Amino acid sequence: MTETLQRPAPAARAGRVRLGLAPAPFLAPGMIYLIVFMAVPVGLLAFYTFFERGRFGGIVFEFTLDNWVKLFEPLYLGVILQSIALAGIVTLLALLIGYPMAYAIAGLSPKWRTVALVAVVLPFWTNFLIRTYAWILLLNNAGWVNQWLQGLGITDAPISMLYTPQAIVVGLLYMYLPLMVLPLYASLQQLDPSLREAATNLGATPWRAFRTVTFPLSLPGALTGCIFVFVPAMSNFVIPELIGGGKTIMIGNLVRDQFFEARDWPFGATLALLLTIFLVLVIVVQSAVSRRLTEGPRRG
Amino acid sequence: MTTAPLLRVDGIRAVYGDTVALHGISLDIAHNEFFALLGPSGCGKTTLLRSIAGFETPAEGRIEVDGEDLLRMPAHKRPVNMMFQSYALFPHMSVEKNVAYGLESDGVGRAEIRSRVAEVMDVVGLGALAKRRPGQLSGGQRQRVALARAIVKRPKLLLLDEPLSALDRQVRSSMQLELKRLQHEVGLTFVVVTHDQEEAMSMADRIAVLRDGRLEQLATPQELYANPASRFVASFIGTANLLDGTATATGVEVPGFGVVDAAHALRAGSPATAVVRPEDVELSTDAATGLSGTVVDTYFLGGASTISIEVPGITAPILATVHGASRVARGDAVGVRFARAAAVARGAGAASVTGDAAATASADPATADAAQEEVSA
Amino acid sequence: MADSTASVTNPSTTAMRELDPTARPRAVRKPRGILVPLWLGYVFLYLPILIVVVMSFNDSENLFVWRGFSLRWYPELFTDEAIMQGLVNTLVVATGATAIATVLGTLLAYGIAHYTRGGLIRAFAIAPAILPDLLLGIGLLTLFSLLTVTLGLHSVIIAHGVFATAFVTAIVLARMANLDPSLEEASRDLGAGPVRTFVRVTLPQLAPGIVAGALLAFTLSIDEFVIAFFTTAPTQPTLPIVIYSMVRFGVTPEVNALASLLLLVSIVTVIAAQRLTRLTGTPK
């Protein structure tokens, strides 16, 4: 009788049998480090926003909502709105320039795709101050762009480009363009090519196939790219200072000034937290939109 | 068939870099035919299908539908619709929107779109799922959506790329019948690409067997099975005992074994292979009649059993199929007789498998598939 | 033989799928014009860098006038004390932060992959990579001042360790996802204990991911400005901070030479990391 044969019981597959090492030695060091040096500092900042400033920096532990109210003073509100506007313009331009780039890269053969991607990312790995400085060389009144423009006879006198809001936009765009191209590329590349073929096969012109299939399906990548560009663009304070000449102030400059010049740490913390709340909101919206765009698992 | 064919493929050659995917394929497909392009992977069948759809540009040749030159039309203007292997359903659109997509592309009026979509959804039995997204459907349901989307435009030709390969086995066999029923019901011409000979055999009116970019044989399933045109077709369609030898006036002389009777038109003395289907192998417990062999193994398969028999002189065991359970056991001596055999030439095609034992060669695609299946399982 | 018999009755065994997309020849040609925006994008991305590199070989003191080829700025660079001190500081910081991040990140990644369900701990460990650097910078500054920690290179090392750990964790986790878990089970099955399995089987498998993560952490730390700006002492600037003050208070052509050298280092590192991840990529 086969039933009498001894058979090993099938292994329970509910969860893999653990390796036998305790989790604590693996998780604890890193978690403690990150709690102490990330969670605590951020929590501390949040805490500071509800207290008064010390006279020479630091904090006086008297509860107040003044820091949050102060955000709505015209002076600061203006800077906040200006930051949003500048970062928004940068994001839009990055999308307009980055989308065709990502689309072109996704259409390359696998070999060239890697090369093209590395070429997009490489500038991102060069020092960001140096990339900013390069634009000073280009945009200065005596700089190379003006020399070329005059050489070509387009203008007689140098156009002042450096130290303008437009220069800030160019600088930020230059800084964060790769961050737009990468997620866009990823979403375009993982699109099943047969989806576009199916659209064509069903009689859609190439433009209609792009508009109704490729583009909507790449929107999650576009949204991710927008976050990647918008968030750091908004908190950057070096480019407004170096390329914008400190004339156009963004939230980042304000935060820096609160810590190093005005010595109003609680308000600086409030501004930084505002940035972070903004970031969280944008991410929540993004993931909600992405989910709506492609409901359920993307298969077939 | 005396009427003009619906699809005429004439001398299609497709080249990619250094490899030739299709070496001048020509074939005609009639109106309302259920036609299958069958072959192992890499045989060029998908390339041919995609050339018809307009996703590949062949280097030479013509493709005509109703006398119209297809290759001059861009893919989106061809009167041909395709069901993709992956189904390629638009994940961001509801089932309904997916099905309506082709009609919208053609600028069909809204009311007509609605009625035609509703109609075709009923045909495939998806009426209740119109508002769902593809991600919320089962594999079988997705396949129906893909089908509905492809037939709603009433194309002259419906191309199906491995339509059943993404389904699991139970769903697959019921879908085979379903596709066949649908084809009658909607009265379209179907061209199916498949690597699965059983699928092709059970559904198609005619099958074109492709191998390495060449057309090996174009015939009805019955004809392919009974009278394969080549050793490859014999081994690819169904299971066969392949006995390599030399053609004689009455059959094939297999070295160390004797002459297997088979009608053929081969020149005597040319290399030939006798093809014996397992059900044409007759066994007797009396080892004295005909040839004698020893049972190596028996496999009980429900309605039938397969028995493998070692016959002296033949390298690979002979397979025989009998009804019900086997009445012989391993080690038994049995008499073997071939009730019917076909003979095919052993040409250049067979050269690639020389060195392999005959029956191993026949098992080749199946072994590879089985291995593949195991890996993916 | 058994296989051929099986195929008679079992249709699923004959199902070999033609799913390999690379086997499929390229479809109908796309228009070439699609590459124009890509090339324009590259011009935008590389023109400023090119200018800097070219000007690093300029003989003139003037940043906007080309006078002739010269290598004079390169040796001059190495005699500039501020730059050299900045470089040393940066290397110290990057080394320290990378060491912390490599150890913590690898352990975290392993722990997360093996002992956690759901994504909470994973999200927490990777959060510093997404958190605005400004927030992390002032947060740490606040913490250090509250604890009255003197600022210096050690505080920058700690600060850089935070985001570097996140990057190492992310990369090692990605590597881990490609590993076959049965390798560890096989090791256990063959009689190796948990520690031996970890050291002899798991770690070597993870090594390429760990090295790539460490390289990334090092590169990021070298380039990092904002967090260092808030957490270092004015007397101990890292190289980016030195560059920042040079750009702010008057540029000399030395900066061009320095920029070109840093560019070279970045390129070499990126290519090395790329090679490394590809060479030892996904095990098939």
pLDDT confidence of residue A214: 93
pLDDT band at residue A29 using 50, 70 and 90 as cut-offs: very high
Spatial distance between the Cα atoms of A104 and A116, rounded to a whole number of angstroms: 10
Spatial distance between the Cα atoms of A177 and A182, rounded to a whole number of angstroms: 9
Of C9, C36, C70, the last residue of a domain is C70
Q: What is the dihedral of CA C111, A186, C270, A114, to 10 degrees?
A: 130
Considering the domain boundaries, does residue C17 fall inside one? no
**In terms of domains, do C60 and C86 share one?**
no
**In terms of domains, do B193 and B153 share one?**
yes
Chain A residues in contact with B90 (beta carbon < 8 A): 195, 198-199, 212-213, 217
The pLDDT tens digits along chain B (377 residues) read 457 889 999 999 998 878 888 999 999 999 999 999 999 988 899 999 999 999 988 999 999 999 899 999 999 999 999 999 989 999 889 999 999 999 999 888 999 999 999 999 988 888 888 889 898 898 889 989 999 999 999 898 999 999 888 777 777 888 888 888 888 888 889 999 999 998 899 899 999 999 999 999 999 999 999 889 999 999 899 889 998 888 888 888 888 778 888 888 888 888 899 999 999 988 887 756 567 888 999 888 888 889 999 888 778 888 999 888 778 888 888 888 888 888 888 864 433 333 333 333 333 333 333 333 333 33
pTM above 0.80, yes or no: no
**Interface with chain C: mutation pick from A16, A32, A42, highest number of C CBs within 10 Å:** A42
Considering the domain boundaries, does residue C143 fall inside one? yes
Question: B252 - beta bridge partners?
Answer: B247, B260
**In terms of domains, do B51 and B180 share one?**
yes
**In terms of domains, do B215 and B327 share one?**
no
Considering the domain boundaries, does residue B259 fall inside one? yes
pLDDT confidence of residue A201: 92
Nearest Cα neighbor of C173 from C103, C219, C124, C105 is C105
Of B177, B200, B221, the last residue of a domain is B221
Chain C residues in contact with A232 (beta carbon < 8 A): 132-133
**In terms of domains, do C61 and C119 share one?**
no
Considering the domain boundaries, does residue C23 fall inside one? no
Considering the domain boundaries, does residue C10 fall inside one? no
| Chain A nearest CA to B104, separation (Å) | 9
Count CB atoms within 10 A of the CB of residue B190: 25
Considering the domain boundaries, does residue B227 fall inside one? no
**In terms of domains, do C239 and C174 share one?**
yes
Chains interfacing with B (3 or more CB pairs < 8 Å): A, C
Strand pairing report for B318-323 and B333-338: unpaired
Judge whether B298 is closer than 8 Å to chain C, CB to CB.
no
**In terms of domains, do C126 and C182 share one?**
yes
Residue of C nearest to B237 (CA): C8
What DSSP state is assigned to residue C187?
Answer: H
**Collapsing DSSP states into helix, strand and coil, what is residue A241?**
helix
Residue of A nearest to C66 (CA): A144
**In terms of domains, do C96 and C62 share one?**
no
Query: C54 lies in which domain range?
Result: 28-70
**In terms of domains, do C157 and C59 share one?**
no
SS3 content of chain B, % helix, strand, coil (to 5): 30, 30, 35
**In terms of domains, do C64 and C101 share one?**
no
Considering the domain boundaries, does residue B280 fall inside one? yes
**In terms of domains, do B175 and B259 share one?**
no
Strands (E), B135-234: 157-161, 189-194, 206-211, 214-219
pLDDT at A234 over 50: yes
Query: B98 lies in which domain range?
Result: 7-221
pLDDT confidence of residue A253: 92
Query: Which among A55-59, A186-190, B204-208 has the top mean pLDDT?
Result: B204-208
Strand pairing report for B157-161 and B189-194: parallel
pLDDT at A280 over 50: yes
**In terms of domains, do C250 and C166 share one?**
yes
pLDDT confidence of residue C255: 85
Q: Do C162 and A143 touch (CB under 8 A)?
A: no
More confident residue, B190 or C199: B190
**In terms of domains, do B278 and B321 share one?**
yes
Across the interface, of C124, C134, C247, the residue whose CB is closest to A34 is C124
Q: Do B308 and C26 touch (CB under 8 A)?
A: no
Considering the domain boundaries, does residue C138 fall inside one? yes
Of C70, C100, C120, the last residue of a domain is C70
Spatial distance between the Cα atoms of B127 and B149, rounded to a whole number of angstroms: 13
Maximum distance among all alpha carbons in chain B?
Answer: 78
Alpha helices in A152-214 (DSSP H): 165-189, 193-201, 206-209
Considering the domain boundaries, does residue C5 fall inside one? no
**In terms of domains, do C56 and C109 share one?**
no
Q: Which two tokens stand for residue C174?
A: 């990605």
Quote the mean pLDDT of chain A: 85
Considering the domain boundaries, does residue C47 fall inside one? yes
Considering the domain boundaries, does residue B156 fall inside one? yes
pLDDT at C119 over 60: yes
**In terms of domains, do B53 and B184 share one?**
yes
Nearest Cα neighbor of B167 from B153, B189, B188, B146 is B146
B257 and B266 in contact (C-beta within 8 Å)?
no
Question: B299 - beta bridge partners?
Answer: B306
Query: B56: domain CATH number?
Result: 3.40.50.300
Mean pLDDT lowest among A50-54, A214-218, C60-64 = C60-64
Chain C residues in contact with B368 (beta carbon < 8 A): 16
pLDDT confidence of residue B376: 36
B183 and B202 in contact (C-beta within 8 Å)?
no
**Domains, chain A, ranges and CATH?**
83-250 (1.10.3720.10)
Chain A residues in contact with B101 (beta carbon < 8 A): 199, 202, 204, 212
**In terms of domains, do B253 and B274 share one?**
yes
pLDDT confidence of residue C11: 34
Considering the domain boundaries, does residue B146 fall inside one? yes
C97 and C164 in contact (C-beta within 8 Å)?
yes
More confident residue, B121 or A10: B121
What sign does the dihedral B234-B236-B239-B245 (CA atoms) show?
positive
pLDDT confidence of residue A1: 38
Average pLDDT over residues A8-22: 49
Using the CB atoms, write b or e for A266-289: b if 16+ within 10 Å: bbbbbbbbbbbebbeebeeebeee
More confident residue, B177 or C225: C225
Q: Which two tokens stand for residue A179?
A: 């961050």
Spatial distance between the Cα atoms of C64 and C54, rounded to a whole number of angstroms: 11
Domain count, chain C: 2
pLDDT at A244 over 60: yes
pLDDT at C70 over 50: yes
Query: B249: domain CATH number?
Result: 2.40.50.140
Considering the domain boundaries, does residue B226 fall inside one? no
Q: Do C7 and B366 touch (CB under 8 A)?
A: yes
pLDDT at A46 over 90: yes
**In terms of domains, do B194 and B249 share one?**
no
B274 and B245 in contact (C-beta within 8 Å)?
yes
Mean pLDDT lowest among A250-259, A290-299, C272-281 = A290-299
Q: Which two tokens stand for residue B34?
A: 């259920």
pLDDT confidence of residue C167: 93
Interior CA angle at A195 toward A192 and A201, to 5°?
145
| Chain B nearest CA to A289, separation (Å) | 12
Domain count, chain B: 2
Interface list for chain A against chain B, based on CB atoms closer than 8 Å: 192, 194-195, 197-206, 208-209, 212-213, 216-217, 293-300
Nearest Cα neighbor of B280 from B321, B330, B328 is B321
Of C13, C39, C70, the last residue of a domain is C70
**In terms of domains, do C105 and C187 share one?**
yes
What residues contact residue A112 under an 8 Å CB cut-off, 6+ apart?
Answer: none
Backbone angles phi, psi at A72, to 5 degrees: -95, 0
Decide if the complex's ipTM is over 0.90.
no
Considering the domain boundaries, does residue C3 fall inside one? no
Judge whether B173 is closer than 8 Å to chain A, CB to CB.
no
Residue of A nearest to C114 (CA): A18
Chain B residues in contact with C28 (beta carbon < 8 A): 54-57, 75
**In terms of domains, do C152 and C62 share one?**
no
Size of interface A-C (CB pairs under 8 A): 251
| Chain A nearest CA to C95, separation (Å) | 17
Spatial distance between the Cα atoms of B65 and B28, rounded to a whole number of angstroms: 10
pLDDT confidence of residue A92: 97
Spatial distance between the Cα atoms of B166 and A225, rounded to a whole number of angstroms: 34
pLDDT at C76 over 50: yes
**In terms of domains, do B215 and B256 share one?**
no
Instruction: From residue C158, give the alpha-carbon distance in Å to each of A259, B305, B307, C123.
Output: 20, 73, 74, 20
pLDDT confidence of residue A11: 39
More confident residue, B289 or C100: C100
Of B177, B196, B221, the last residue of a domain is B221
Backbone angles phi, psi at B159, to 5 degrees: -100, 135
Q: Do C11 and B162 touch (CB under 8 A)?
A: no
Considering the domain boundaries, does residue B1 fall inside one? no
Spatial distance between the Cα atoms of B118 and B130, rounded to a whole number of angstroms: 9
**In terms of domains, do C134 and C49 share one?**
no
Q: Which two tokens stand for residue C141?
A: 């500054």
Considering the domain boundaries, does residue B309 fall inside one? yes
**In terms of domains, do B91 and B215 share one?**
yes
